[in-house]
Chain A
Amino acid sequence: MQLPSITINSDTKIMLQRILPVPGEVLVEPGQKVEALTVVAKAEMPSRYRVIDVARQLNRPQVDMSEVMLVEPGDEVEANQVIATLKGRMPFLQRPVRAPSAGQITTIGPGWVLLETERTTLEVQAFINGKVNRIIPGRGVVIGATGAIIEAACGFGGEAHGRLKRLVNSPYEALKVEAIDESVREGIVLGGRTVDEEALREAERWQVRGVVVGSIQASLLELDPPVKVRVVATEGFGDVPMSAHAFSVLTTMSRKEVSIRGQTPNLMRFPRGQLMVEPPVIVAASTLEATGASSGAANIAEVTMGTRVRVTQGKQLGSTGTIATIPSEPQPTKAGIIAPGAFVKFSDETRYVPWANLERVA
């Protein structure tokens, strides 16, 4: 049986693709060492336009634009600059067309002009300390490093980078508001089971950059105003403890620089033409070179007796165990649905779990 994998590994080869959503410029060279906040690619994106109705302003519904335009596509114009006028008319007998604001002429259509008034620069940072492994021309790079990586379940807020500090003693303990103080300013906090709004607001007050917990309430996604702290949950939504395995790997990352990506893939629009959104993740590079064996997270692998697996559904969500036996016939679940699966040995019991509710932990 083959299962999809997630990576929870304290020492593995990390290869991260960092790409722009639109074509742009790559700013680094292959082999170059980069830090998490190094901008590796950028693109200029027009973000605001004004439509100038030249025909109406000149009171000429069938205006020949080539006769009246004083500017061309690509020209920069100042606010209030005259851009079109009826030729052959005395200036004081007409009201010429002026640019409503400064910008660049994007295009001239029949009777109208599109003026780009604002541009946004999109920047992609390296996200982790590492070395540029490969350039994707015009779009981005692949960064390589060796270190710890934990693929998580959900989150919000986006990316952050900072020093990880553990504020709980076990994966079952929730992050309490009292635990948050100046000592975690501008850092990333390792909570345990979960975090509530009050603790997140306190974290925001101390400019905490990120929080890593086992689970979050779905209602936190809709906070108004939104909290300015990035949050990653390793297991999912609800009140679920962090898996002991993830907690122990995260504990090894304590006091190190880590990068987190807080997002929930299934709540995001899929980039056009792509089959998946990047998963939420926690990464810490220990060396800048991508050496050693890859965890194989992107691959599929045969699951056999002893393979470590994680439960993705129900009350046992997030529990990890190892495959004990694989029965030849599908077994019924407590709900009565008969589905192929395996008996999984957890810390307290051995239980039958359908393959559909398992993923391999690499």
Chain B
Amino acid sequence: MKSILAVDCGSTITTAVLIEEVKGEHRLKAAGQAPSTYGPPWKDITLGVKEAIRHIEQAVGRMLLSPGGGWPITPQSAAQQGVDAFVVVSSAGQPLQVVIAGLMQDITLASARRAVATTYSHITHVISVDAENGDGPQNSPEARIQALQEGEPDIILLAGGTDGGAELPVIELCHVLSMAMHVLANREKPTILYAGNSEVRTHIADILGSLTALKSVNNVRPMLDIEDLAATQVELEKLYIQRKMAQLPGFENLTNWTPYPIEPASKSFEKLISYLGRHNNLNVIGANIGSRSTVVSTQSQGRHNSAIRSDAGVGHSLASLAKVIPIERFHRWLPFELSPGELYNLLLNKSLHPTSIPTTYEDLMIEHAVAREALRLVVDQAQPGRSEIPWHLIIGAGRTLTRLPQAAQAAMVLIDGIEPWGVTSLTLDSSGVGNMLGSIAAIDPMAAVSVALRDAFLNLGTVVAPIGHGRLGKLAMKVKVTFGEDDIYEKDILYGSIERVNLPPGQKATLEIRPARHFDIGLGQPGRGAVAEVEGGLLGIIFDARGRPLRLPKDDSVRRERLQQWLLTLSMNDAASINNN
């Protein structure tokens, strides 16, 4: 295909990109953004799409929309009007409301949670047979019916029992659901997705089949030590598309503009991260911090994981995030004095106007504090053993990061949110195309690969961070950077500090690291040194000797001073800004 127009309808902003073939290679030609318009007062998702495309039309000076500002022209005409393909992804709208029900909190319900976490969703209630005080009033059938009434779920995910294992408790839960379906008689009934003991499917269908939409899929836990989430994840994604995406005002029109299915943006992003990890044999983590949700996707050691928290956005869902995370946790990242009460007021104001933009340094630092905590929350969920994995590549996405005036600010959010150790490359999806590349790859893999390699990402630099802790001001590691034959930089990096060395984008250097005896650079042996070839970036090489896991000073004024110092060190000579690159 010679030209592809792709659009990402986000909860706040709609981004459009134009990819064109130039001298046999696909390149990102232009990008345009406009406010998303699925909600009031516009209530038509296509208005924002057209506006974003119009920005591209102005930038490239050719017509992409049919006369009168209609739909995208496809295929591209001989007169250079339109494009060969039009692709759409979306994360706009509300998440699926899900109630999960099952037998054991730590086994089947844990698997059910992981399955739900891969779709834009919100778990409103958990019904568990083995809940604490198993015979208490909260576990009575009446209490469970009440929970289902209050939860107003779109979906009930019922899991429980290994294949061929316990039947009776699952059937009893099923009876409770059947009672609840009668109670919900005058409301829209949820779809029940059964992903439990496969041998009682017929029985389940007999009980629930006539009462509501019922779908059975493979058991999420066919055996105690085997987890199989794929079928449940696929079905949840379908239900999200049907029950949420397709209900967005104007969505039907949008589907008529393209022959390709409209995917959730998170799915497309996951495909990108998975591809980059597998193709390059790297441990890759992608973090997309959005207004309504944060998506973390990882590919490491041959495994793919991802988690979406629809209550961990920095705008639309900020009020929910403030309920999940204590205010002190946001507060600890502020480099200036502000009472927790005032901070809470400001967070709630931001959630009243989620599309608003920070206008002062203080506003910006508050947004970064929120982004750090949202990221930490979702990284923990996507990769519970994250401290065991040395990430080779971090990809940051979402406007919270990409619109920042300084690359150092985006880098600090990513480093503090993910806490990489060893030697890690930091990149930013500065053009906003990251969410679309997975879907573009489905119709033209070479175009997606070419854009991913050449245009999509802004290389921020390389982070070098040892695991371990020492005494403040004492040696954490000795580093030697060889830029060329006679150009060598050597320095002792002290515990508690961050240092930075310039290495412009496109240049390479040899890095020798000799950690002190309490520190491990990722070789599994404290004190053992390493040599690595590193590539440059906007910030060059960042030596982060604050230790892992990260510990912030407890004293408020000391902590504030350090936060300022760390950012200042990283920002020095960072004229740079993401917008100029």
Query: Which residues of A line the B interface, CB within 8 A?
Result: 4-5, 22-23, 46, 48-51, 106-107, 109-112, 114, 153-154, 217-219, 236-238, 264-267, 269-270, 272-273, 275-276, 298-300, 312-315, 317, 332-339, 353-354, 356-357
Chain A residues with Cβ under 8 A from B350's Cβ?
A: 313
Q: In residues 303-326 of chain B, which contact A (Cβ within 8 Å)?
A: 316, 318-319
Q: A67 CA to B433 CA in the complex, in Å?
A: 66
Q: In residues 495-532 of chain B, which contact A (Cβ within 8 Å)?
A: none
Pair A356/B344 contact, Cβ less than 8 Å:
no
Pair B355/A238 contact, Cβ less than 8 Å:
no
Q: A266 CA to B321 CA in the complex, in Å?
A: 12
Pair A337/B403 contact, Cβ less than 8 Å:
yes
Query: Which residues of B line the A interface, CB within 8 A?
Result: 35, 38-43, 93-94, 97, 140-142, 145, 152, 154, 175, 178-179, 182-183, 186-188, 207, 247, 249, 316, 318-319, 341-342, 344-346, 348-361, 363-364, 403-406, 577, 579
Pair B142/A357 contact, Cβ less than 8 Å:
no
Chain A residues with Cβ under 8 A from B405's Cβ?
A: 332, 335-338
Pair B360/A51 contact, Cβ less than 8 Å:
no
Chain B residues with Cβ under 8 A from A334's Cβ?
A: 359-361
Kindly provide the distance from the CB of B290 to the nearest chain A CB, expressed in whole angstroms.
Answer: 15
Pair A300/B359 contact, Cβ less than 8 Å:
no
Q: A51 CA to B142 CA in the complex, in Å?
A: 6
Q: A222 CA to B42 CA in the complex, in Å?
A: 34
Chain A residues with Cβ under 8 A from B179's Cβ?
A: 49, 51, 107, 109, 112, 114
Q: A112 CA to B175 CA in the complex, in Å?
A: 9
Q: A231 CA to B12 CA in the complex, in Å?
A: 29
Residue in chain A with minimal CB distance to B187: A22
Q: Which of A46, A114, A337 has the most CB of B within 10 A?
A: A337
Chain B residues with Cβ under 8 A from A112's Cβ?
A: 141, 175, 179
Complex A-B, nearest 7 residue pairs according to Cβ-Cβ distance, in ascending order: A336-B405, A313-B356, A237-B345, A238-B345, A312-B353, A51-B141, A107-B182
A275 and B355 contact, Cβ closer than 8 Å, known pairs A237-B348, A266-B319: no
Q: A337 CA to B345 CA in the complex, in Å?
A: 23
Pair B359/A275 contact, Cβ less than 8 Å:
no
Pair B351/A300 contact, Cβ less than 8 Å:
no
A354 and B357 contact, Cβ closer than 8 Å, known pairs A114-B182, A273-B247: yes
Chain A residues with Cβ under 8 A from B346's Cβ?
A: 237-238
Chain B residues with Cβ under 8 A from A4's Cβ?
A: 40-41
Residue in chain B with minimal CB distance to A22: B186
Identify 13 new A-B residue pairs, CB closer than 8 A, beyond the known A332-B405, A356-B355.
Answer: A107-B182, A112-B141, A218-B348, A237-B352, A238-B346, A272-B97, A275-B93, A275-B94, A300-B41, A336-B405, A337-B358, A356-B35, A357-B357
Chain A residues with Cβ under 8 A from B41's Cβ?
A: 4-5, 298-300
Pair A217/B363 contact, Cβ less than 8 Å:
no
Pair A335/B360 contact, Cβ less than 8 Å:
yes
Q: A156 CA to B251 CA in the complex, in Å?
A: 34
Pair A333/B247 contact, Cβ less than 8 Å:
no
21 pairs of residues in contact across A and B, judged by CB atoms under 8 Å: A22-B186, A49-B142, A51-B145, A111-B175, A112-B141, A112-B175, A154-B352, A218-B341, A236-B345, A237-B345, A265-B352, A266-B318, A273-B247, A275-B40, A275-B43, A298-B40, A313-B356, A317-B349, A335-B363, A339-B357, A356-B35
Kindly provide the distance from the CB of A270 to the nearest chain B CB, expressed in whole angstroms.
Answer: 6
Q: A353 CA to B357 CA in the complex, in Å?
A: 10
Q: Which of A5, A111, A313 has the most CB of B within 10 A?
A: A313
The residue from A106, A236, A275 contacting B182, defined by CB atoms under 8 A apart? A106
Kindly provide the distance from the CB of B398 to the nearest chain A CB, expressed in whole angstroms.
Answer: 14
Pair B349/A237 contact, Cβ less than 8 Å:
yes
Pair B97/A110 contact, Cβ less than 8 Å:
no
Kindly provide the distance from the CB of A354 to the nearest chain B CB, expressed in whole angstroms.
Answer: 5
Chain A residues with Cβ under 8 A from B207's Cβ?
A: 110
Q: Which of B145, B178, B179, B316 has the most CB of A within 10 A?
A: B179
Q: A111 CA to B207 CA in the complex, in Å?
A: 12
Kindly provide the distance from the CB of B206 to the nearest chain A CB, expressed in whole angstroms.
Answer: 9
Chain B residues with Cβ under 8 A from A333's Cβ?
A: 357-360
Chain B residues with Cβ under 8 A from A110's Cβ?
A: 175, 207
Chain B residues with Cβ under 8 A from A298's Cβ?
A: 40-41
Chain A residues with Cβ under 8 A from B341's Cβ?
A: 217-219
Residue in chain A with minimal CB distance to B33: A340
A106 and B183 contact, Cβ closer than 8 Å, known pairs A238-B345, A314-B359, A334-B359: yes
Chain A residues with Cβ under 8 A from B319's Cβ?
A: 266-267
Residue in chain A with minimal CB distance to B140: A51
A109 and B97 contact, Cβ closer than 8 Å, known pairs A237-B348, A335-B358, A337-B364: no
Q: A114 CA to B405 CA in the complex, in Å?
A: 61
Q: A270 CA to B244 CA in the complex, in Å?
A: 13
Q: A299 CA to B364 CA in the complex, in Å?
A: 31
Kindly provide the distance from the CB of A297 to the nearest chain B CB, expressed in whole angstroms.
Answer: 8
A300 and B42 contact, Cβ closer than 8 Å, known pairs A51-B141, A335-B405: yes
Chain A residues with Cβ under 8 A from B186's Cβ?
A: 22-23
Pair A109/B352 contact, Cβ less than 8 Å:
no
Kindly provide the distance from the CB of A349 to the nearest chain B CB, expressed in whole angstroms.
Answer: 14
Pair A272/B38 contact, Cβ less than 8 Å:
no
Kindly provide the distance from the CB of A335 to the nearest chain B CB, expressed in whole angstroms.
Answer: 4
Pair B358/A238 contact, Cβ less than 8 Å:
no
Q: A255 CA to B555 CA in the complex, in Å?
A: 53
Residue in chain B with minimal CB distance to A237: B345
Chain B residues with Cβ under 8 A from A264's Cβ?
A: 348, 352
Pair A272/B355 contact, Cβ less than 8 Å:
no
Chain A residues with Cβ under 8 A from B354's Cβ?
A: 266
Pair B39/A275 contact, Cβ less than 8 Å:
yes
Kindly provide the distance from the CB of A164 to the nearest chain B CB, expressed in whole angstroms.
Answer: 24
Q: A236 CA to B356 CA in the complex, in Å?
A: 14
Chain B residues with Cβ under 8 A from A313's Cβ?
A: 349-350, 353, 356-359, 363
The residue from A217, A276, A317, A338 contacting B39, defined by CB atoms under 8 A apart? A276
Q: Which of B39, B349, B358 has the most CB of A within 10 A?
A: B349
Q: A20 CA to B579 CA in the complex, in Å?
A: 49
Q: A349 CA to B82 CA in the complex, in Å?
A: 46
Pair B352/A337 contact, Cβ less than 8 Å:
no
Pair A49/B94 contact, Cβ less than 8 Å:
no
Q: Which of A5, A51, A106, A335 has the most CB of B within 10 A?
A: A335
Chain B residues with Cβ under 8 A from A353's Cβ?
A: 359
A50 and B359 contact, Cβ closer than 8 Å, known pairs A114-B183, A272-B97: no
Q: A334 CA to B346 CA in the complex, in Å?
A: 18
Chain A residues with Cβ under 8 A from B318's Cβ?
A: 266
